[in-house]
Structure formats: structure tokens, C-alpha cells
């Protein structure tokens, strides 16, 4: 009994230090630091648009969310505490979390977006770029009314965790006709295809069908350093922005220039993920002297493991047709071209890069001037 009591007291002390000011990184555990390249014409911004603090049902104060984001290499965040309730121990003003975070983020390299989770019924939505999270109309129990109130503030509204089992017991995203009408009207502009470890094919289908913006977030409530270690990262949205500003993020979201990085997977449109693939890699190729074996050395400078399948006519000397281009490592492929060529193409299927529901990315690595 005494051991159990001591354990609980220690846990309370640790949580209190995190909640009331100690840096998360002083606790001795660090989360993964994102290293993801830009693509031609755009900055690749690492973003989390869904997180909570002690001002709703999270366990840390807003300034800790800022420290966590900077420590993990995020570029933009939105603290989206539930706007219809708050803990009785904190101030009853839903603007306060943003104000605390904004003050702490001054002079730091982080884009902070005012947002909130409008969740007065079991269907939850996040609203980004709000002007006032304390607006009573955002707390209406009818989804359409609170979504309309958010749009009146020119917010970007997206549907959260649409396969949430508290609402949908089969874990699938429904075809909710009320929400589809709001999508058609431009009131709902995006959808969380991924939330934490969850992925919803039905939500991905809706993105394709109604030209929505693809979103993936952590929905973090706890301490990041306890949930995410260097070998496990939070789910994030990659935003391909023309500039590193709040308005740059807004413009990219409105024009659907996003992808999702969840676990070992990338999910997004092919026209963004193909350049991300090639910007992640340095490729050097030369023939072994006196042979027709082309030695291809691929250096992956990104966080992504690319799980590939060779679909070309050329076979490999040093392996079968499945291989992984590991993150922050060199991968060597020896291609049997049967004769020395001045150039060739290696057709690949990248299994863990999803460009549409059920469809992995296909591309060709082209080698020239050998």
C-alpha cells in the first residue's frame, strides 16, 4: 500500500512540473524531431491542428504545447481546446489558452493559429483561424449552427475523427448526408482522414468526392514526450505553403495542398508526394567495371522509410523485387541491365505512400548520362 502511495505521489509531482512550467525536455525523454524536405515552389510545413490543454481535457498548460512543438520540429500548431466546457480550476474564457501560448511563442520559430474544437454533440469539428473562441454560438448543440458560427468568423472548419467509436461503433466514417450538404456548401472544408493511429477509408473517399482538404492530427491530450519517442512520431499534416505565415497556411489549406504523415505512411495527392519522394533522396549510379551491373546508391535524407516494389523489366542482382529505402540511411541496389546503357528507368510501386483510397504511388527513377 505504501509503495502504491509513493508511486502516485511521484506521478503527481511529475505531472505538476510539466503542467506548471518545467520544460518537457527536462524530463529526460525527447520525441522525434521531424526532418522533412521542402518541395519545388513550396515550404513543407509540419503541422498539428488538433491538441488539448488543461483548459479542456488535456493535462498540460498551453506553453508546454509550444515547447513540445518546437522540440519536435513542428512549424505550425493550433491549440484546439473544446469550446463548450472547461475545467473548473481554470479561467472561464476560451481565448486564454491561445493568449498564453502566443506570449510564450513570441520570438520563437513557430506559427500559432487560433482554433477550437466545436464539440457540443458527439460529432466534433475543429475550426481554425477563428477570431473569438469564446463566442457562445460555437457551443450550439446543433452541428450546422455551430459550423455556421465558425464560418461567420471566416474559419476553416474540418470534421474530426469521423470514425470515432464513441459515435460510430463499427469504426467506419459514415456518409452523413447533413455533413455532405455542408461540404457541398463549403461550410466544411476538410476532414481528418487520420487522427492519432486511426485511418478512415470512408473519409478519404469523401476528400476525393467533394474536393476537401486532407487533414491528419495527433489529438494529443497527454505529455508528448511520454507518448512519442524517437522511433514513434505524432500524426501530422504536411502543409505545402508558399510562405511561412498564418496566411500561408490558410492559403494552402484552402487550396488542398496537404498530405498526412502517420506512422510509416504518407497519404496525399500524387502531385505533392512525388516531388517529396525525389527531394528526400540523392541517387548515384555507376556500372561495375567490366559488367552490365548498375550500382545505384540511394541516400535518404528524410524521416520516411519508402517501402518499394520493383515493377520494371530490370531485375536486381543483390535482392528480390521488394526493398525499403530506409530513412537517414544509404540503400544500395544493383540492377541487371544485361548490357551497359547510357540510361534507364526503374519503375517502382511505393506501397506505403497512398495517393488515393487503396492506391499506392507509382513512379519511375530515371537514370541518365551513365
Tell me the CATH number at 74: 3.20.20.140
* 201 plus 166 within the same structural domain: yes
Domain finish residue from 210, 228, 263: 263
Distance of alpha carbon 269 from the chain centroid: 14
Main-chain phi, psi angles of 271, to 5 degrees: -70, -15
* 219 plus 187 within the same structural domain: yes
**Where does the pLDDT of residue 29 fall: very low under 50, low under 70, confident under 90, or very high at 90 and above?**
very low
Q: How far apart are CA 157 and CA 250, in angstroms?
A: 11
* 149 plus 31 within the same structural domain: yes
212 falls within a domain: yes
Contact 110, 68 (CB under 8 A): no
46 falls within a domain: yes
205-231 residue pLDDT tens: 999 999 999 999 999 999 999 988 777
81 vs 20 pLDDT, higher one: 81
* 108 plus 244 within the same structural domain: yes
Range scoring the smallest mean pLDDT among 102-116, 156-170, 314-328: 156-170
269 falls within a domain: no
- Using DSSP's 3-state secondary structure scheme, residue 102 falls into helix
177-191 residue pLDDT tens: 999 999 999 999 999
Contact 114, 63 (CB under 8 A): no
End-to-end CA distance of the chain: 72
Pairing of strands 43-48, 76-77: parallel
Q: Kindly state the average pLDDT of the residues 138-155.
A: 97
pLDDT of residue 15: 47
- Using DSSP's 3-state secondary structure scheme, residue 264 falls into coil
Domain finish residue from 239, 263, 287: 263
Q: How far apart are CA 132 and CA 114, in angstroms?
A: 8
> Residue 143, CB half-sphere, CA atoms under 13 Å: how many?
21
47 falls within a domain: yes
Q: How far apart are CA 187 and CA 352, in angstroms?
A: 32
- Using DSSP's 3-state secondary structure scheme, residue 127 falls into strand
* 96 plus 231 within the same structural domain: yes
Tell me the CATH number at 351: 2.60.40
341 falls within a domain: yes
* 142 plus 239 within the same structural domain: yes
- C-alpha cell at position 143: 452541428
- Using DSSP's 3-state secondary structure scheme, residue 62 falls into helix
**Rounded mean pLDDT of the chain?**
91
11 falls within a domain: no
* 64 plus 211 within the same structural domain: yes
**Percent over 90 (pLDDT), the chain:** 82
Q: To which residue does cell 500561408 refer? A: 248
pLDDT of residue 13: 41
pLDDT for 17 beyond 90 = no
Q: Which residues contact 100 (CB under 8 A, 6 or more apart)?
A: 61, 62, 63
* 146 plus 204 within the same structural domain: yes
The CA-CA-CA angle for residues 16, 19, 23, to 5°, reads: 105
19 falls within a domain: no
Q: How far apart are CA 136 and CA 94, in angstroms?
A: 10
> Residue 142, CB half-sphere, CA atoms under 13 Å: how many?
7
Residue-number span of the structural domain to which 233 is assigned: 24-263
Q: How many residues does the chain have?
A: 370
Q: How far apart are CA 11 and CA 15, in angstroms?
A: 6
pLDDT of residue 30: 52
3 falls within a domain: no
In the chain, the number of structural domains is: 2
- Smallest Cα–Cα separation from 293: which of 322, 330, 259, 333? 333
Q: How far apart are CA 211 and CA 205, in angstroms?
A: 10
pLDDT for 26 beyond 60 = no
The per-residue DSSP string of 302-333 comes to SSPPEEEEE-SSPEESSS-SEEEE-TTEEEEE
- Smallest Cα–Cα separation from 131: which of 115, 120, 119? 115
Q: Kindly state the average pLDDT of the residues 3-27.
A: 42
pLDDT for 54 beyond 50 = yes
Domain finish residue from 213, 238, 263: 263
**Where does the pLDDT of residue 90 fall: very low under 50, low under 70, confident under 90, or very high at 90 and above?**
confident
pLDDT for 24 beyond 60 = no
Q: Kindly state the average pLDDT of the residues 161-173.
A: 84
**Where does the pLDDT of residue 5 fall: very low under 50, low under 70, confident under 90, or very high at 90 and above?**
very low
**Where does the pLDDT of residue 87 fall: very low under 50, low under 70, confident under 90, or very high at 90 and above?**
confident
* 201 plus 288 within the same structural domain: no
313 vs 168 pLDDT, higher one: 313
Q: Give helix then strand counts, H and E, for the chain.
A: 9, 20
What H or E segment, with its residue span, contains residue 308?
Answer: strand 306-310
Amino acid at each position: 500500500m505504501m509503495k502504491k502511495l509513493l508511486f502516485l505521489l511521484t506521478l503527481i509531482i511529475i505531472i505538476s512540473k510539466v503542467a506548471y512550467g518545467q520544460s518537457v525536455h527536462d524530463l529526460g525523454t525527447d520525441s522525434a524531431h521531424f526532418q522533412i524536405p521542402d518541395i519545388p515552389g513550396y515550404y513543407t510545413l509540419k503541422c498539428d491542428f488538433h491538441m488539448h490543454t488543461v483548459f479542456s481535457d488535456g493535462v498540460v498548460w498551453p506553453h508546454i504545447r509550444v515547447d513540445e512543438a518546437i522540440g519536435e520540429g513542428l512549424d505550425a500548431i493550433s491549440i484546439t481546446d473544446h469550446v463548450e466546457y472547461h475545467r473548473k480550476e481554470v479561467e472561464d474564457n476560451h481565448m486564454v489558452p491561445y493568449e498564453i501560448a502566443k506570449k510564450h511563442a513570441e520570438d520563437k520559430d513557430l506559427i500559432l493559429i487560433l482554433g477550437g474544437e466545436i464539440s457540443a454533440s458527439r460529432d466534433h469539428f475543429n475550426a481554425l483561424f477563428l477570431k473569438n473562441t469564446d463566442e457562445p454560438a460555437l457551443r450550439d448543440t446543433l452541428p450546422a449552427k455551430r459550423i455556421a458560427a465558425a464560418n461567420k468568423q471566416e474559419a476553416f472548419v474540418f470534421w474530426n475523427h469521423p470514425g470515432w467509436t464513441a459515435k460510430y461503433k463499427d469504426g467506419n466514417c459514415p456518409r452523413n448526408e447533413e455533413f455532405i450538404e455542408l461540404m457541398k456548401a463549403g461550410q466544411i472544408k476538410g476532414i481528418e482522414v487520420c487522427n492519432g493511429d486511426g485511418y478512415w477509408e470512408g473519409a478519404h473517399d469523401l476528400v476525393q468526392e467533394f474536393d476537401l482538404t486532407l487533414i491528419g492530427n495527433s489529438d494529443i491530450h497527454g505529455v508528448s514526450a511520454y507518448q512519442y519517442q524517437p522511433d514513434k512520431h505524432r500524426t501530422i499534416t504536411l502543409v505545402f505553403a508558399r510562405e511561412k505565415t498564418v496566411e500561408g497556411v490558410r492559403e494552402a489549406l484552402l487550396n488542398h495542398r496537404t498530405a498526412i504523415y502517420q506512422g510509416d505512411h504518407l497519404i496525399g495527392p500524387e502531385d505533392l508526394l512525388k516531388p517529396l519522394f525525389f527531394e528526400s533522396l540523392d541517387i548515384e549510379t555507376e556500372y561495375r567495371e567490366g559488367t552490365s551491373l548498375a550500382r545505384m546508391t540511394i541516400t535518404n535524407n528524410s524521416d520516411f522509410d519508402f517501402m518499394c516494389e520493383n515493377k520494371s523489366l530490370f531485375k536486381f542482382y543483390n535482392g528480390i523485387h521488394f526493398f525499403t529505402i530506409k530513412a537517414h540511411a544509404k540503400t544500395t541496389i544493383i540492377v541487371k541491365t544485361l548490357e551497359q546503357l547510357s540510361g534507364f528507368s526503374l519503375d517502382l510501386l511505393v506501397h506505403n505512400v497512398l495517393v488515393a483510397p487503396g492506391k499506392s504511388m507509382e513512379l519511375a527513377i530515371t537514370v541518365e548520362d551513365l
